[in-house]
Amino acid sequence: MTDDQGYGEIAAHGNPIIKTPNLDRLHSTSVRLTDFHVDPTCSPTRSALLTGRYSTRTGVWHTINGRSMMQTDELTLAEVFKANGYATAMIGKWHLGDNYPCRPEDQGFEHTVWHHGGGLDNSPEYWANDYFDDTFKVDGAWQKFEGYCTDVWFREAIRYVEQQRTKPFFLYLTPNAPHGPYFVPDEYAAPYEAAGLPKTMAKFYGMIANLDENLGRLRARLAQLGLAENTLLIFLTDNGTTAGWIDQKAGFKYFNAGMRGWKGSAWDGGHRVPCFWHWPAGSLIGGRDVPALAAHIDLLPTLVDLLGLKKPAGHPVDGISLRPLLLGRNEPPPERTLFVHVQRAFLPPKWKNSAALTQRWRLVDGEELYDITADPGQQSNVAADHPEVVRRLHRDYEQWWASLEPALQQTVRYVLGAVFEPGHERHRSPPHRRRGGRTHALEHRRGHRRLPRETQSRSGDAPDLADPPRWQPTRRLLHAHPICVRPLSGRGLMPRRSVLRRADCQPPI
């Protein structure tokens, strides 16, 4: 599962610019869910995918503020596979809690290689990680790696497959790319800059090109090991596009497969994503489309049914098995209403940035109705013409919301002094160097800044983790209220004892 790659950022979906030969090859030989939906942002999608339950039920509806931490009593895919004798591993982006009892190793994954927070530039992450030669958490301990982050994730994935090739395994591989900031080796972005794309978009496409290359490398190794025939490979993304809509202000007309919206929106462009299933031994081949409405909550029940797993006791799931549809059986798709919402608030507001979905209809914010079969771009609001459909979807949403309300009263908390987690290294916040009379910093989205690698310490060496820091922001939150650093001003350094107000912080999605 890639991060922030939209449905339209695959050449096989009609994008005239991007080059994704390995994804195209997978597309041409897979069973494809063409009306597949996730949540419009990172953490909610991940919790729903792993549990088969709507993300809000699991305690996750935001990506920050303590609302990206999954309830510890949830039954995850990893725990299901582990109970059935599979080895389990998670490699890449987790984004469901960084400390005990919310880490991937606490949720059924036996082997883990991952980064903290929602991105390599986030405050919970290891200091100075910047996509190149980074330090990641490996089975509970920090480990230094060489190379570009996506290359590292796939290299570790291949290593894991090689180690487990004689036994059944479940690998949850979740690269952080192409999530911003858009850092990628120059050779991947250069062809797109030469084609005239804005610099941001060129880097974004370059990150996807690197992902595509690594996918090809992984599939080639599976074939060399004799595992390709009987390995179920599922590809999807976690939400709609990002960089495409950012550059539209500069006049760039990005390709979004005819959809309206992007990451963080209730229109289809925010949550309809690719989903390819490839399993030659299980007859999931041939380049066949399945147009039935489906979602991330369907993965767990589908895998249990498709692979003949025994599901341990746990909370009831919201999803259904897609096995008959995947196998091409002549059965009508079930009639149901699915729901997505963009709840970027400490307590979610009802109806705001929401969508109720059926095979034909989309009710957005409880007011706008779109006939998705006749108007896939969601340009014509037909609510006035179909009041009975609006009433029915209103009723479905009200029932769904009532079922979520108990979860809104619960708070997930970290455990202080847990014996299951070794003491955290302390990260020094290095002093700022000044160049040409101005503080030198790398600019982040929405005004956040981070020091470049060369300013890690006065000497230019890595920070001394044994030396207590003179000053630093809280890096691991033990409650639901973040402390953020205000953007650097042009007037120089922030005083050491400055009061940091939450209102000053605008963390990225």
The per-residue pLDDT for 465 is 36
Q: What is the mean pLDDT of residues 101-123?
A: 94
From the candidate CATH numbers 3.40.720.10, 1.10.287.130, 3.40.50.920, 3.30.365.10, the one assigned to the domain spanning 11-326: 3.40.720.10
pLDDT class for 414, splitting at 50, 70, 90?
confident
pLDDT over 70 (residue 475)? no
Q: What is the mean pLDDT of residues 376-394?
A: 98
pLDDT over 70 (residue 228)? yes
Of 4-13, 18-27, 323-332, 373-382, which gets the smallest average pLDDT? 323-332
The per-residue pLDDT for 250 is 66
Q: Which phi and psi angles does 231 have, rounded to 5°?
A: -110, 125
Across the chain, what does the average pLDDT equal?
Answer: 85
Sign for the pseudo-dihedral over CA of 281, 286, 288, 294: positive
The per-residue pLDDT for 489 is 33
pLDDT class for 249, splitting at 50, 70, 90?
low
The per-residue pLDDT for 83 is 98
Identify residue 504 by its one-letter amino acid code.
Answer: D
Q: What is the mean pLDDT of residues 402-429?
A: 74
Q: What is the mean pLDDT of residues 144-170?
A: 98
State the Cα–Cα distance between residues 120 and 214, nearest whole angstrom. Answer: 19
Name the more confident of 441 and 72.
Answer: 72
For the stretch 164-213, pLDDT in tens is 999 999 999 999 999 999 999 999 999 999 999 989 999 999 999 999 99
pLDDT over 60 (residue 503)? no
pLDDT over 70 (residue 82)? yes
Paired with 275 in beta bridges are 236
The per-residue pLDDT for 453 is 36
The per-residue pLDDT for 411 is 87
Residues of the chain with pLDDT > 70, as a percent, come to: 81
pLDDT over 90 (residue 330)? no
81 backbone φψ class: left, alpha, beta (φ>0; ψ -120 to 50): alpha
- The tokens of 161 are what? 């497959």
Q: What is the mean pLDDT of residues 218-231?
A: 98
- The tokens of 389 are what? 């459909």
Instruction: Could you please state the CATH topology (level 3) that the domain comprising 338-408 is classified under.
Output: Arylsulfatase, C-terminal domain (3.30.1120)
CB–CB of 116/145 below 8 Å? no
Domain locations along the chain: 11-326, 338-408, 425-509
pLDDT over 80 (residue 232)? yes
Name the more confident of 116 and 423.
Answer: 116
For 175, 183, 201, 417, the CA distances from 150, given in Å and listed in that order, are: 6, 11, 18, 33
Q: What is the mean pLDDT of residues 108-128?
A: 92
Sign for the pseudo-dihedral over CA of 13, 14, 16, 22: positive
The per-residue pLDDT for 302 is 98
pLDDT class for 461, splitting at 50, 70, 90?
very low
Residues of the chain with pLDDT > 90, as a percent, come to: 72
Q: In terms of C-beta density within 10 A (0-12 exposed, 13-18 middle, 19 or more buried), how is residue 94 classed? A: buried
Of 43-52, 84-93, 307-316, 344-353, which gets the smallest average pLDDT? 344-353
What's the pTM value of the predicted model, to 2 decimals? 0.83
* Contacting residues for 406 by C-beta, under 8 A, at least 6 apart: none
For the stretch 10-32, pLDDT in tens is 999 999 999 999 999 999 999 99
Q: What is the mean pLDDT of residues 299-317?
A: 97
Of 141-145, 192-196, 244-248, 457-461, which gets the smallest average pLDDT? 457-461
Q: Indicate the SS3 state at residue 242.
A: coil
CB–CB of 175/93 below 8 Å? yes
pLDDT over 90 (residue 486)? no
State the Cα–Cα distance between residues 93 and 18, nearest whole angstrom. Answer: 24
Paired with 148 in beta bridges are 132
The per-residue pLDDT for 124 is 84
